Structure 1
Amino acid sequence: MRRVFVTLCVPLLLVAGCAPADPEPADAPPPDGRQAAFEERATQIAAAWQPGPSWSDGYIPLQEPVMTVGDPGFTPDTQAAFRAGWYRDQIPLPTDQPEDGTIQFPSGTLTVPLVSAAEAYRELDRGDPPACGGRPTNPATPPAPADGPDTGVSTAPQTACIPLTVTAVELDSVPVRTSRGEAAVPAWLFTIDELTAPVARLAVAPTAVGEPPEPTAPSAPLPQELVGALDLRAVDGATLTVRVGIGACDTGLTPLVYEQDDVVVVGGAVIRSTGVCTEQLLLEPVTVQLTAPLGERTVLDVLGGGPLRLTTG
């Protein structure tokens, strides 16, 4: 029998709208009404979540395959290069396929085939950076000196189109959010000359990587006063940081959570503006406090019913 917990969490922040909103619009439901609407939909979401056996005995990552291991010490230039996938290798990259590796889940292990360092690098490197006006594409090449104080060239800060330099590589494991909780997954760690921490590219062969199933959302639309979640930003024991999508003039953002033994459903409640407002979707981080550590439970979105991925970029 599933145990159920419903919590109205303290919001991390209040969101100021772009147009004045009535503090308590006459047609706005009371907070307990919003929670009841959330609980009703979350119950339907949890009941519909039937992912199949591969969810609990296979390898389905819920995180991007590229990540930094530790604090990379990003500058605007290096962060832009990391997000764009601009790299240049300065070492021979092994092409031999390594022996099978082991994924360590909280409640078991799985043996999987791995890719070579050269193949992992091909997936990591997304091409060369474009030429930037007045900026070198090679970080070792200094910019040309100006002819004088009035050159007609802007001196405003500008992101350099430079690649990250790979100087070493090793096979190790990194923590990854999966359908079976946080697991230690084999990864190739690339030492980057411009960063203070390695960049990891998961080493599991594509044939061993599963995909999340298509969710089944309730047929009824999401109640107007509720908003859905887009992704997880952090998991720290029983504390989740979640990004929800709100309107530009919504106020009173309050995160909501519904817990069962196997799933957690998250979303938020807002007060909608009655005035004129631009049609914008803002992604706002909120803190969700669970009654117990998340563990191997799956985090589902109250809007579409699908599992949330952990994103760090």
Structure 2
Amino acid sequence: MRRPALLLVLPLLLVASCATTGADPAGGPRSPAHRAEAFDKRAAEVAEAWRPSPDWRAGYVPLEGPTVLTGDPRFTPDTEAAFRAGWYRAEVAIPPTRVGGEIRFPDGRLTLPLVSAAEAYRQLDQGDPLPCPGRPKRPGRPTPGGPTVEPGPDGWTSSGAQTACLSLTVTAVTFGAVPVRTSRGEAQVPAWLFTIKELATPVARLAVAPTAVTPFPAPTVPARPLSDGLVGAQNLTAIDGARLTVQLGVGACDTGITPLVWERPDAVVVGGSITRATGECIAVLKLAAVTVTLGAPLGARPVLDVFTGAPLSIAPR
């Protein structure tokens, strides 16, 4: 029996007064140079407080989620919605047998317990899509005798050119490995690869047993609040050598969004500088993607948020 899909509703529309620009809490000018100086000071404190357990360098700490795309899936709006929601249906038997495997890190190897393909599929499959009246249950298969309407916000073309509200169809499953960013750099991690009829690339579910995953260390946050005009980072979206793409958490009316980075040989701290608007503003957190370039490739260094002091993970792909 499939589990019912869950809907998450986020309250967004709250009205708040935005801070007045032009002065810092100490009464001095709040210029970009002052914000950068405040960032550097806090970043140094965050990096100094970073004290992970030995498992950070000896265990398996993944910095991205357990479901990974192995290439460009060529999403349509409906197939992307199904992937994000975890809607799957299997046309083949999913084997319950377990296999052995190891993680290959840049600095060594680690053998850990793995889950079977059947267990991985149970973790992957989060239920069925909600009903979509007037649309077929499978892509490219119009409802017999159903109406033909023009494409638009309220209609679907019965020619099958559009994908329906659907579950992704699993047609094969194999065992392999995929690259995953970890606390020890990019590793080759055992995974179950599910071939999907509607996608151009398999969906991988990491095969490491949840009990074998080392939890994130608890961050140590500086006692004082984040200086006005500075914002923290929410996650990473891409790592390319010394180039990082970071999502900052900013306000709806913030302007002058500028990435800030501080680095040393064992850690990188990221955040941002913003200019707050005056007057009233909708109190909603927005994600602003920014790019920073380090002085050297990131390697296995953790990327820490200047606000919370926590290591950042990579947003779901």
The interval holding the TM-score normalised by the smaller chain is 0.7 to 0.9
Give the aligned partner of residue 14 of structure 2: none
Rounded Cα–Cα distance in structure 1 between residues aligned with 2:254 and 2:36: 17
Q: For the structure 1 residues 147 and 269, does the alpha-carbon distance in structure 2 shift closer, same or farther, using more than 3 Å as the test?
A: closer
- For 2:268, which of 264, 278, 294 is the aligned residue? 264
Give the aligned partner of residue 213 of structure 2: 209
Tell me whether 1:79 sits opposite 2:80 in the alignment.
yes
Give the aligned partner of residue 182 of structure 1: 186
Task: Classify the secondary structure of the residue corresponding to 2:195.
Answer: strand
Give the aligned partner of residue 124 of structure 1: 124
Rounded Cα–Cα distance in structure 2 between residues aligned with 1:83 and 1:171: 22
AA partner of residue 117 (structure 2): A
Q: For the structure 1 residues 149 and 92, does the alpha-carbon distance in structure 2 shift closer, same or farther, using more than 3 Å as the test?
A: closer
Rounded Cα–Cα distance in structure 2 between residues aligned with 1:191 and 1:148: 32
Rounded Cα–Cα distance in structure 2 between residues aligned with 1:147 and 1:161: 17
Give the aligned partner of residue 283 of structure 2: 279
Report deviation, 1:149.
Answer: 7.3
Task: Classify the secondary structure of the residue corresponding to 2:227.
Answer: coil
RMSD of Structure 2 on Structure 1 (CA): 2.2
1:130–1:137: 8 Å Cα contact kept in structure 2?
Answer: no
Tell me whether 1:304 sits opposite 2:308 in the alignment.
yes
Give the aligned partner of residue 37 of structure 1: 38
Rounded Cα–Cα distance in structure 1 between residues aligned with 2:40 and 2:287: 22
Unaligned runs of 5+ in 1: 1-20
Q: For the structure 1 residues 207 and 147, does the alpha-carbon distance in structure 2 shift closer, same or farther, using more than 3 Å as the test?
A: closer
Q: For the structure 1 residues 205 and 268, does the alpha-carbon distance in structure 2 shift closer, same or farther, using more than 3 Å as the test?
A: same
1:1-313 aligned at under 5 Å gives the runs 25-27=21-23, 29-99=30-100, 101-139=101-139, 141-145=141-145, 154-155=154-155, 160-313=164-317
AA partner of residue 215 (structure 2): E
Q: Please, what TM-score do these two structures have when normalized by structure 1?
A: 0.87
Rounded Cα–Cα distance in structure 1 between residues aligned with 2:199 and 2:86: 14
AA partner of residue 138 (structure 2): N
1:230–1:245: 8 Å Cα contact kept in structure 2?
Answer: yes
Report deviation, 1:109.
Answer: 1.1
Report deviation, 1:35.
Answer: 0.9
Rounded Cα–Cα distance in structure 2 between residues aligned with 1:170 and 1:208: 22
Report deviation, 1:263.
Answer: 0.8
2:136–2:164: 8 Å Cα contact kept in structure 1?
Answer: yes
Report deviation, 1:56.
Answer: 0.5
- Runs (4+) off by over 4 Å: 144-150, 156-159
Report deviation, 1:138.
Answer: 3.4
Report deviation, 1:58.
Answer: 0.2
AA partner of residue 189 (structure 1): L
Please identify, of 244-253 and 141-150, the stretch whose mean Cα deviation from structure 2 is larger: 141-150
- CA-to-aligned-CA distance 1:136-165 (integer Å, 9 cap, x gap): 223364135456879xx9316997321111
Report deviation, 1:129.
Answer: 1.5
Q: For the structure 1 residues 122 and 228, does the alpha-carbon distance in structure 2 shift closer, same or farther, using more than 3 Å as the test?
A: same
Task: Classify the secondary structure of the residue corresponding to 1:189.
Answer: strand
- Identity among equivalent pairs (%): 57
1:80–1:159: 8 Å Cα contact kept in structure 2?
Answer: no
Q: For the structure 1 residues 291 and 76, does the alpha-carbon distance in structure 2 shift closer, same or farther, using more than 3 Å as the test?
A: same
Report deviation, 1:206.
Answer: 1.6
State the number of aligned residues.
Answer: 289
AA partner of residue 234 (structure 2): L
Q: For the structure 1 residues 147 and 160, does the alpha-carbon distance in structure 2 shift closer, same or farther, using more than 3 Å as the test?
A: closer
Higher relative contact order (CA 8 A, sep 6+): 1
Report deviation, 1:234.
Answer: 0.1
Rounded Cα–Cα distance in structure 1 between residues aligned with 2:38 and 2:163: 46
Report deviation, 1:93.
Answer: 1.3
Report deviation, 1:60.
Answer: 0.9
